[in-house]
Amino acid sequence: ILNVEQSPQSLHVQEGDSTNFTCSFPSSNFYALHWYRWETAKSPEALFVMTLNGDEKKKGRISATLNTKEGYSYLYIKGSQPEDSATYLCAFINRFGDKIIFGKGTRLHILP
Amino acid sequence: GAGVSQSPRYKVAKRGQDVALRCDPISGHVSLFWYQQALGQGPEFLTYFQNEAQLDKSGLPSDRFFAERPEGSVSTLKIQRTQQEDSAVYLCASSLARFHTDTQYFGPGTRLTVL
């Protein structure tokens, strides 16, 4: 059974502080890892598609790294802002590209 | 440009009632996915279409769940004889590529509450 774990489940961060959280996935049969941001009352929005071991991607203040050998990805947010409050989901895609498994998400709350 | 839309946004059903949830994907997107998200969980895969062909329905929880995409664009997820455990947010997503490798574009979801 393939399992994708995200930690922590929930996180409260002071505005201006930086933070990070983790997505763990099976290291075998890996094809890609997707990160999505899901704000309340909106649609989940794609952040990154990561495929290569050692990948590092950046979008503004948000960046992500990928370690396929040990099966984890980190998402970093620098200088948190209120608009960063959302649930961050990761999704593992298997080697054949025919299975997708989401984690339960990390719910991020930015405190003013 | 138009994104993925879903209707209705909210649906309250009495136990035993049939419901139909609609998804309008981005025009030209080959792949269409349905997910079920229960409270406190991540999206769970239900079914996948490549154009009009339903290639994977392994995630449908029971034979009360049925999905179709007859012309390769709009899709409908039907749940017959709804049960309380069917209460969840149902998300639809589409992507340009075949299979699951490409970025998926999500709709806002339909929140189903079964009383």
Q: What is the pLDDT of residues A50-100, one digit of tens each?
A: 999 999 999 999 999 999 999 999 999 999 999 999 999 999 999 888 889
Please indicate whether, in this complex, the C-beta atoms of B45 and A101 are within 8 angstroms of each other.
Answer: yes
DSSP B59: T
Q: What tens digit of pLDDT does each residue of B74-110 get?
A: 999 999 999 999 999 999 999 998 777 889 999 999 9
pLDDT grade for B1, boundaries at 50, 70 and 90: low
pLDDT of the residue at B40: 87
**C-alpha span between A39 and B108 (Å, rounded):** 10
Q: What tens digit of pLDDT does each residue of B35-82 get?
A: 999 988 999 999 999 999 999 999 999 999 999 999 999 999 999 999
pLDDT of the residue at A50: 94
Give the closest of A98, A104, A105 to B56, CB-based.
A98
Please indicate whether, in this complex, the C-beta atoms of B103 and A49 are within 8 angstroms of each other.
Answer: yes
**C-alpha span between B89 and A6 (Å, rounded):** 20
pLDDT of the residue at B97: 85
Please indicate whether, in this complex, the C-beta atoms of B45 and A100 are within 8 angstroms of each other.
Answer: yes
Work out the burial of residue B39: count CB atoms within 10 Å of its CB; fewer than 13 is exposed, 13-18 middle, 19 or more buried. exposed
Residue of B nearest to A41 (CA): B108
pLDDT of the residue at A99: 87
Q: Which of B56, B40, B48 is nearest to B88 (CA)?
A: B40
Please indicate whether, in this complex, the C-beta atoms of B91 and A102 are within 8 angstroms of each other.
Answer: no
The size of the A-B interface in CB pairs under 8 A is 53
Q: Which of B23, B65, B22 is nearest to B46 (CA)?
A: B65
Please give the order of strands across the beta sheet that includes A72-77.
A5-7, A19-24, A72-77, A62-67, A56-59
Give the closest of B42, B93, B99 to A103, CB-based.
B42
pLDDT of the residue at A76: 98
